[in-house]
Amino acid sequence: MFEELAVEHLYVHVPFCAKKCAYCAFYSEAASGQLVNRYVEALVREMQWVASDLKPKTIFFGGGTPSLLNLGQWERVLQTIHRLGWHGAAEWTVECNPATVSLHKAKLLRDGGVNRVSMGAQSFDPALLDRLGRVHSREMIFKSFDILRAAGFDNLNVDLMFAIPGQTLASWRQTLAEAKALGSEHLSCYEVIYEEDTPLFEQLQTGAVQVDEDLACAMYDELLLAAADAGFQQYEVANFARHTASAAAEVPDRACRHNVNYWRGGSFHGLGPSAAGYVRGVRTRNWSNTTMYCEQLERGRRAIESTEELPPLARAGEIAAFGLRMTSGWPLEQFQRRTGFDLRQEWRPEIDRMMELGYGELNQQRFRLTSKGLRFADWAGAEFLRS
């Protein structure tokens, strides 16, 4: 059921941001030079810990704002990755914020083996960037994009948000048009999530902002049209990528393979404060406190706060549930290999129910949610969970 070989995916969390955005519930804090250095050293130690069980095909540096590390700090990280022999990863993504990429840094990353950058643009509307509390301007998005291209990146993602309080359908259309013009290989578009303990959530509670479900749905419809029109293929609820090979594929070839591994229930190591890992059925989470994280590693311990291991059927249910977020759904054979359960048998009533509602589609190869079903992916996913 589990990979016999070393784990093939690595996530690294960089817990620093210049300033907290209004909607963000990720663990990140303001970067003080001292703490960032200490973090880099702890991370190097943590990499050491997993070295024997990792041969990464994908690496993903997320955050926070990984691009906030300075040149020296990045050099130290890249060096370690080379020393451990991980630099040959087929897909190596670093998340960047538009205000934080210099040509120098971009080149350093590219030369070090990073081959994909995910840029948190969020919007092209200055008023909305302000509303979201983003530190960058609209112009910086274009500028950073050019820098990345100049540094040799040919696989770029742009993150956008919709249903932002104050955003109109016209403004969203405009943003989608500008994204198309940018010509990235990948597009991730999220409806705003009101996460607890964020300023945006507070505003929702006090009634300062309201959710307009109809408008959000209209924006999603608009997104599907615009993405198709720009030549993107949807492969997950919120993710779109170009497909360059001539033969059609269920998952486009510029899809983020690292993320696909999450939805397919594959193993990955997670390093850095608050990072989650999932290795052969065991989920772990690191301490969400940079100082504590560093202390643990400095004392020669791992920084794991909690672990969770589900019994086989519950684990299979979880894997089924989250895999349904992909437009290609679950290839039946792959599911059986991964979980040991037959999707069609164990979840027969659920599958039938989804099909009755027009939410699901079953054929010889796979079960998947229809485009209508994808809009109820949480409900569908919950139905597949087993306790």
**Binding residues vs ligand SF4 (CB under 6 A):** 17, 20-21, 24, 26, 28, 63-65, 97, 120
Contacts 24+ apart (CB under 8 A), 282-288: 282/307, 282/308, 282/309, 283/307, 283/308, 283/309, 284/308, 286/13, 288/27
Query: DSSP label at 167?
Result: -
Containing 333, the helix (H) or strand (E) segment is helix 332-339
Q: 308 touches which of ligand SF4, other proteins, none (CB within 5 to 8 A by kind)?
A: other proteins
Query: What is the rounded CA–CA span in Å between residue 311 and residue 37?
Result: 40
Q: Which two tokens stand for residue 41?
A: 């050293």
Query: In whole angstroms, how close is the CB of 15 to ligand SF4 at the nearest point?
Result: 9
Q: Does 121 bind other proteins (CB under 8 A)?
A: no
Which residues lie closer than 8 Å to 97 by C-beta, 6 or more apart? Answer: 17, 18, 65, 67, 68, 119, 120, 135, 136
Query: What is the rounded CA–CA span in Å between residue 131 and residue 21?
Result: 9
Q: Does 304 bind other proteins (CB under 8 A)?
A: no
Dihedral pair phi/psi, residue 42, rounded to 5° = -65, -40
Near other proteins in 229-258, by CB under 8 A: 237-238
Give per-residue burial for 342-353: e unless 16+ CB within 10 Å, then b. ebeebbeebbee
- 221 and 193 in contact (C-beta within 8 Å)? no
Q: 73 touches which of other proteins, ligand SF4, none (CB within 5 to 8 A by kind)?
A: none
Q: 344 touches which of other proteins, ligand SF4, none (CB within 5 to 8 A by kind)?
A: none
Candidates 37, 49, 322, 355: give the one binding other proteins (CB under 8 A).
322
Comparing CB distances to other proteins, the nearer of 142 and 190 is 190
Among the listed ranges 97-105, 242-250, 270-278, 290-298, the one in contact with other proteins (CB under 8 A) is: 270-278
Dihedral pair phi/psi, residue 10, rounded to 5° = -135, 130
Near other proteins in 341-370, by CB under 8 A: 357
CA atoms lying within 13 Å on the CB side of residue 37: 4
Among the listed ranges 30-38, 92-100, 274-282, 340-348, the one in contact with other proteins (CB under 8 A) is: 274-282
Near other proteins in 1-60, by CB under 8 A: 11, 13
Q: Does 132 bind other proteins (CB under 8 A)?
A: no
Query: What is the rounded CA–CA span in Å between residue 340 and residue 313?
Result: 9
Q: Which two tokens stand for residue 252?
A: 């486009």
Q: 63 touches which of ligand SF4, other proteins, none (CB within 5 to 8 A by kind)?
A: ligand SF4
Near other proteins in 144-203, by CB under 8 A: 190-193
Residues β-bridged to residue 283: 278, 308
Q: 367 touches which of ligand SF4, other proteins, none (CB within 5 to 8 A by kind)?
A: none
Candidates 16, 145, 172, 220: give the one binding other proteins (CB under 8 A).
220
Q: 11 touches which of other proteins, ligand SF4, none (CB within 5 to 8 A by kind)?
A: other proteins
Query: In whole angstroms, how close is the CB of 24 to ligand SF4 at the nearest point?
Result: 3
Query: In whole angstroms, how close is the CB of 51 to ligand SF4 at the nearest point?
Result: 27
Q: At what angle do helices 71-83 and 33-50 cross, to 10 degrees?
A: 10
Which residues bind to other proteins, rule: CB under 8 A?
A: 11, 13, 190-193, 213-214, 216-217, 220, 237-238, 259, 261-262, 268, 270, 274-276, 278, 283, 285, 308, 318, 321-322, 325, 357, 374-379, 381-383, 385, 387
